[in-house]
Amino acid sequence: MVSFLKEAEELFEEYKDYIPTHREICEILDKEFLTKEDLAKLLNVSSKEDIMLMAKKAQKLTRENFGRVILLYAPLYIANYCQNSCVYCGFSCRKKYKREKLSFEEIENELRKMKEEGIDSVIILTGEDRINSSVEYIEKACRIATDFMSEVSIEVYPLYEEEYKRLSSIGVVGITMYQETYQREDYDKLHPFGPKKDFEFRLNAPERALKAGFHEVCVGPLLGLSHPKKDVLCAILHAEYLLDKFPKAEISISFPRFRSAGTDFIPSYTVSDKEFIKFLIIARLYLPRVGIVVSTRERPSLRDALIDVCITKMSAGSKTTVGGYAEEKDEDAEAQFEVEDRRSVSEVVDVIIKKGLRPEFTNWVKGVKSI
- pLDDT score of 96: 78
To the question of domain 68-360 being in CATH 3.20.20.70, the answer is yes
Q: Mapping DSSP to helix (H, G, I), strand (E, B) and coil, where does residue 83 land?
A: coil
- CA dist 153 and 172 (Å) reads 6
- Which of the residues in the chain have pLDDT under 50? 333, 336, 364-371
Select from 80, 109, 91 the least CA-distant residue to 261: 91
- pLDDT score of 98: 84
DSSP letter at 308 equals T
Q: In 117-169, which residue ranges form alpha helices assigned H by DSSP?
A: 135-148, 161-169
- pLDDT score of 159: 98
- pLDDT score of 329: 61
Q: How many CB atoms lie within 10 A of CB 32?
A: 5
Q: How many CB atoms lie within 10 A of CB 266?
A: 11
Q: Mapping DSSP to helix (H, G, I), strand (E, B) and coil, where does residue 185 land?
A: helix
Select from 195, 269, 185 the least CA-distant residue to 232: 269
Exposure string for 87-122, b = 16+ CB within 10 A, e = fewer? bbbbbbbebeeebbbbeeebbbbbbebbeeebbbbb
Q: Give the helix/strand (H/E) hosting 159.
A: none
Concatenated DSSP letters of 248-275: TSEEEEE-PBP---SS----S----HHH
Q: Mapping DSSP to helix (H, G, I), strand (E, B) and coil, where does residue 108 land?
A: helix
- pLDDT score of 281: 98
Question: Could you give the C-alpha distances from 128 to 133, 196, 219, in angstroms and in order?
Answer: 7, 8, 18
Which residues 6+ apart lie within 8 Å of 172 measured at CB? 142, 146, 152, 153, 154, 214
- CA dist 124 and 257 (Å) reads 21
What pTM was estimated for this model as a whole?
Answer: 0.93
- pLDDT score of 326: 87
- CA dist 199 and 155 (Å) reads 17
